Every structure is written in C-alpha cells, then in structure tokens.
A and B are shown apart, each in its own frame.
Chain A
C-alpha cells in the first residue's frame, strides 16, 4: 500500500441541530409559548364548560325532549337524533357526489380545457365561503325543485352537504393523486379500461385517505349552526325525526336555544350539551385518525 495516510478529518463538536445561541433559544421559547397559549385556552374552555355542565350529566339529558316547563330535566333527545339523521343524510348526499367529482377532475378531466380549470379555481374558493351562504343556497335550491317546507332534515342536509362538498372533493383528490402512476399504468397495460382502472385500483387504494378527509369534513359540519338557522330549523322539537322529510332540531341549534334562555338550568344544560357535542366531534376525529393509521399505505 502507498504510504499516504490521510489524517482523519476532525469533526466539528458544535451540534448544528441543537444551536444554543440566545436568539434561537428565544425563538424556541416563543414557539412553545404560542403552543401553550393555544392549549391553555382550549383546556380552560373545555374544563369550565364541563364544570358548568357537571350537574346535568344524567340520563335525562339524552332521553328527554327539550322543555321550557321542566328546565331541570330538559334533554337533547330530539337534537341528538336530529343530528344523527342530519349527518347520515349529509354523508349520503355529499360523499358520492364529492368522490365522483374528485375522480373526474383527477382522472378524466382534460386540464387544458377552460371549464375544467374554472372548476379547479372555484373549488378552492368554495371551501372558504362562509357557512351561512350555504344555508341560503340550500333554501334556494329546494325552492327551485318545489319543496315548500325548509326546516326538514333533507334541506338541512343539502346545506351541510354543499358546505362540506369542497372539502370532500379536495381531500379525495389528494388521496387519488397519492396513488402512484405505476399502478394505473400497470392496470392499463394489461388491457383494463380507464374506468376499470379507476374502479378496481385507484379508488380502493385511495379509500383510507378519502375516509379520513370525509370524516373530518363531517366533524366540521356537525357543529354548524348558521346554515341550519337560515334553513329555518325548529328550536323546540318534542318528537323524534321519522324520515328525511321530518322537521327536526340539531345539537348546535339546541345549544344556541338554551344559551339564549335566562334561567340557570338551561345554562347548565347547554354546557352539558356542548360537552356531548365535543365528544361526538372527538369521536369522529378519533375514527379518522384510526382509519388513517390502520390503512395507511407506504408505496
């Protein structure tokens, strides 16, 4: 061997990843403070609400109808069932349309056409429109198809469905786009049609992403009160919804109604109802995280 021995390079001892200058420490502290602020406010809100509502975590809250005469035992029954009906109907309306629209835009649309680009542009804007507008839109739509009553589950679901449609479309497109091109090419090269390729390869592979995005969208819709107020959802309902043409009330409306009451019992019931609604949202988000982790696929 030749006698050229290269001296081993002395490694710098300063850890670049853990820069300890005063400026960066300050910056890190500011970041932590911001995070702490967010969490503290959130926790304060949840805890104070839970404490306020502590007196009403009883079975009557779930099983009884809302009542002005017996504020001690006023309950969420109609609102809970109404919200469940509303969410299922919303999902049935929005999910198929949202997925179909996303698949069209991602797999079949010719992006050089002006009308497809127009849809693209508007989708981003639609997701940012105030929810109240969707309530007005829903009322307008059902009036056009000749439905006279507006405070029914179908109309509420149209409003919420329109509200979450852009979110569903955008998240579905992301999920569809994440399916590698090689999978599509492999399918097409075997003589599958583009439709077969979409149906048998792309969509099954995208389902976890689609499910996650859809559930997140629904958990946003579940807390919406504004579009339902525009639609004219009843505030006091003393019967269970029986179908999509049934009048109903929903959790956010019930909470809104109780908080505008002056009697203390309703304030307590409202706080308890808020916790129930929060629990439902957390449940949905938890489900979304579960699906994402369980079915996540690394390509």
Chain B
C-alpha cells in the first residue's frame, strides 16, 4: 500500500469542509497508489434485488478491493443501501426481499444454500446509519459480539480495550466503561458501534451512511477513523455526501435510479465504478459528471 496521506487528522479539516462544500468538484485528498483492478475480497456479479414484485437493483457488477475503502454514492432511491445490505445478507431480514445473481466473498457465493447467513455476518460486519448502541454498558456493548459468537479471547477486558482503542474511543470512555452507552454523544455512540463491530474481528466492514446523523466534528472523527481502519479491514461505505466519498474512499461506485416506463418504479443501477480520483476528476459517464458537479441528484 502506498503512503497514506489522510490518516492524520488535519486541524482545519472541519473548516475545510465548509469551504469545500460550494465547490463543484470535491477535492480528492485521499490520493494513493492503487492497483488498476481491485484485488477482490468481495464481488457482485449480475446482482439483482427484488422486494416482492419491485425490482430494486438491476445487474450490479462490482469488485471490492482488500484494504481499500469503496464508496457507493448516488441519489436517493438508487439502491446503494440495498446493495450494501446484500453484502452481509441483512436483506434476508426484509420480508419479500429476493436476491438474484452472485455475491462472492473470497470466491464463495454467500447466497449459496449451504452458507449460513450468521456465518456471513460474522465475517462481514455492519455499521448503521443511526448509531444503535445496545441498552447496556459501554463495556457490554463491545463485549457482546465476542460473547455471542463464542470468540476465544485470552482476556476479554483487554480485547474490549483494544477494540475501543482501534475505534479511537478509549480515552473518552475508559473511566466509565460500566456506564450506559446511551450517555454518550451521537458521534461517540457511532464510534462505539464501530468498536463493537471490530471487536468481532470481521474481514469486511459495511457502513451505511455512518455520519448522516452526526455533526461535522463527529463526522471528521469517523472519517479519520475509517482511513485508519483501512489498514486492517476492507471498508465499503454508502454515503450521500460526495465530499465524504472524495475524502475517504479509494474507489467510488456511482449508482442512479432508472424509472420504469409503465409502473414508474425506480430501479437502481450501477453507472460507473472507478478509482475515486478518476470518478471525481474525469468521469466517463455524463450522468456521473452531472451528479458530481451538482447538476442533479
């Protein structure tokens, strides 16, 4: 991996963001040398998702590279969250959801009838849009994952500490581990949810708009954290915030929604997938360019 220019928190990053916002083309400050093709940890082949009769996502082909951050961007209703939730079979929980095509994890189809969805989710963790700590203590929130999956850890206390340190939360909570997680701020709760996820040592971490309910300072904490975590994990993030995609991701997939002529239902499809710097500086599809430059979506 190339030298990582974005791991250190820039003191002025919050202000930078407000300066960046009116720019038509967000600054890509996450430049590093990437292989032209991602070395696939996960792969979608002709992925189609249906909710009952509704065709939510059409023919998505994507490869998610190891130790890379892949951002899924696009306007509302373009199916990016649906694609994300297919990657660890969270869509199984939605009544009527049906997945066609192939989602491969290290070459194995996670939708194979012999594959256990529980096992999939142990390898592919997920952080949600709204921070969702359990109504338990901070410690128990982090220890929950290792406990339920029967993870063999030498010392649970130091394991919890390690996860909290990795999530850049330890210093803030080390004196109140037994207190309720609900007492934390929104940004801290979201980092707790990240700590909870990495405590189970997943391979891939899915993040569904993890900063959408957070203020800019908390957002910049999470973004710095994501870039740090890239060293150990493969991260796939859905975001509405193009600046965020530009700041943190290595590769970006742009989705859009195509209305059906007869029903008016909008089906999501992948328009373009490339290195983030290419997507933001030299997109090959006009729709991507229009979205990036703020002309639609």
Cβ-neighbour of B132 out of A186, A192, A200, A205 (below 8 A): A186
Contact A205 B128, CB 8 Å, known A188-B90, A191-B121, A191-B145: no
Known: A192-B145, A192-B148; 13 extra A-B contacts, CB below 8 A, are A111-B95, A112-B95, A183-B134, A185-B93, A185-B128, A188-B121, A189-B125, A190-B144, A191-B119, A191-B121, A191-B125, A192-B144, A193-B118
The 10 closest A-B pairs by CB, nearest first: A191-B122, A182-B132, A189-B126, A190-B145, A192-B148, A186-B132, A191-B149, A191-B121, A196-B148, A193-B118
User: Is A117 located at the chain interface by the 8 A CB criterion?
Assistant: no
Contact A190 B132, CB 8 Å, known A185-B90, A185-B93: no
Interface of chain A residues 165 through 188 with chain B (CB within 8 A): 180, 182-188
User: Is A297 located at the chain interface by the 8 A CB criterion?
Assistant: yes
Interface of chain B residues 46 through 105 with chain A (CB within 8 A): 88, 90, 93, 95
| Total number of B residues with any Cβ neighbor in A under 8 Å | 24
| Total number of A residues with any Cβ neighbor in B under 8 Å | 21
Are B144's CB and A200's CB within 8 A? yes
User: Is A259 located at the chain interface by the 8 A CB criterion?
Assistant: no
Are A191's CB and B93's CB within 8 A? no
Q: Bound state CA distance, A191 and B146, in angstroms? A: 9
- A-to-B contact residues, CB < 8 Å: 111-112, 180, 182-193, 196, 200-201, 204-205, 297
Are A297's CB and B134's CB within 8 A? no
Interface of chain B residues 173 through 227 with chain A (CB within 8 A): 193, 196-197, 200
Cβ-neighbour of B200 out of A190, A193, A204 (below 8 A): A190
Are B145's CB and A182's CB within 8 A? no
Min C-beta distance of B26 to chain A, whole Å: 29
Contacts of A182 in B (CB 8 A): 128, 130, 132
Cβ contacts A to B, 7 pairs, < 8 Å: A186-B193, A187-B144, A189-B197, A190-B145, A190-B200, A192-B148, A193-B148
Interface of chain B residues 108 through 126 with chain A (CB within 8 A): 118-119, 121-122, 125-126
Most buried by A among B88, B95, B145: B145
Most buried by B among A184, A192, A200, A204: A192
Min C-beta distance of A230 to chain B, whole Å: 43
Q: Bound state CA distance, A183 and B135, in angstroms? A: 9
Most buried by A among B133, B144, B196, B200: B144
Contact A180 B132, CB 8 Å, known A189-B125, A191-B148: yes
Q: Bound state CA distance, A201 and B181, in angstroms? A: 14
Contacts of A186 in B (CB 8 A): 128, 132-134, 193, 196
Interface of chain B residues 122 through 154 with chain A (CB within 8 A): 122, 125-126, 128, 130, 132-135, 144-145, 148-149
Q: Bound state CA distance, A112 and B119, in angstroms? A: 27
Cβ-neighbour of A187 out of B88, B122, B130, B148 (below 8 A): B148
Q: Bound state CA distance, A183 and B93, in angstroms? A: 13
Contacts of A205 in B (CB 8 A): 135
Contacts of B126 in A (CB 8 A): 185, 189
Q: Bound state CA distance, A188 and B118, in angstroms? A: 8
Most buried by A among B125, B144, B148: B148
Are B196's CB and A190's CB within 8 A? yes
Are B93's CB and A190's CB within 8 A? no
Kindly report which residue of chain A lies nearest to residue B145, judged by CB atoms: A190
Q: Bound state CA distance, A200 and B134, in angstroms? A: 10
Are B148's CB and A190's CB within 8 A? yes
Contacts of A200 in B (CB 8 A): 144, 148
Min C-beta distance of A221 to chain B, whole Å: 31
Are B121's CB and A189's CB within 8 A? yes
Cβ-neighbour of B134 out of A112, A188, A191, A201 (below 8 A): A201
Q: Bound state CA distance, A5 and B133, in angstroms? A: 49
Are B135's CB and A190's CB within 8 A? no
